[in-house]
Amino acid sequence: MDINPVIFSFKLFTWNVTLTWYGLIVMTGVLIGAWFAEREVRRRGENGEVLLDAMVWAVITGIIGARLWYVANATLGGNNSFMQDPISIIRPPIAGLHFFGGLLFGGLALAIFLKRNGYDVLLFLDAVAPVALLGQAFGRLGNFINQELYGPPTNLPWGIPISADHRLAQFADLTQYPVATTRFHPTFAYEMILNVLAFLFIIWFVRRDGDENEKPGTAFSLWLILAGFIRVFIEFFRPDQPRIGDTFVSYTMVVAFLMGVAGVILFLARNGTLNFAFAENWAEKYQVKKVEKKSSPSRAKTFVEDTSDMDDQTVIDSPKRKTASKSKTPAKKTTVKKTTTKRKTTK
């Protein structure tokens, strides 16, 4: 089924403005992920609005990182077009982003923002990392529309057709791979399903003993494990990825494997199975930033006004108070004298 990847396009002065299904789906995935992550931050007791402020920097930096990683990955794979024409890296329309680059650069921007503003970085990483799986799964729908991110040919019943103009070079021979009968692995669907299952598992695992018993870093370490090893598996169905020499190993596979191993180490250290120096002072609870309550200006202003009114009233009433005190003093003296006289008479 062929779907036009362009929703609409128009010319604005000298610029061609185009809205694609892929772009719309990816941005929708980002919004859904941000909404869910904000709820996860609030569930852990922190101010969710902080995440929305940080996401502005994380998303922009993440897009830059995703583009740079794609360019580096393609160049390592033998594509010299970016070296011959460097301006093509930033020339619109920009085609080609790598998810790992977005995670690395976006994650660093998020951590720097949080650290500078005094927030618990692990709290936000635990909230955001699992949601990244959900957002990535949603974004894979765009790969389906673009007829990309598919695997090698297959005879399995869920194989999908790929039109001739979307074929990779190794599958472009239509006599060997006829359009009518050749089916390919829907790699994007495999990743979608696995990512959703991984997301649900992480959410279940960290909540199974109650929110108050969640240990900082658990969700993040589980994300490293699942996201890393899922990607290692997916790379076997990615014939478009550059390989290291003549091996079956891709550069992305190596990074994903190291990511999974790092997650295993963090998870075991978090739960005390392995003892490492960096985990000796690992906090058992999230460090929620305390917000100082400030008195509102309106209240302060009212208090000043009331004080001034009282001062004026004191000045006006002071003569009356002095007169009253003078009249009361003789009365007290008279009372004392009368009392004394009565006591003498009794004696």
Residues counted in the chain = 347
Report the chain's mean pLDDT, rounded to a whole number. Answer: 82
Average the pLDDT over 68-90 and give the result. Answer: 85
Tell me the CA distances in angstroms from 255 to 5, 8, 187, 229, 252, one per residue in order.
31, 37, 19, 10, 5
| pTM, entire model | 0.76
- Output the pLDDT for position 291: 59
Tens-digit pLDDT profile for residues 5-17? 888 888 878 778 8
State how far the Cα of 147 lies from the Cα of 3, in Å rounded to an integer: 9
Strands 6-12 and 15-20, how do they pair?
A: antiparallel
Highest mean pLDDT among 229-233, 322-326, 337-341: 229-233
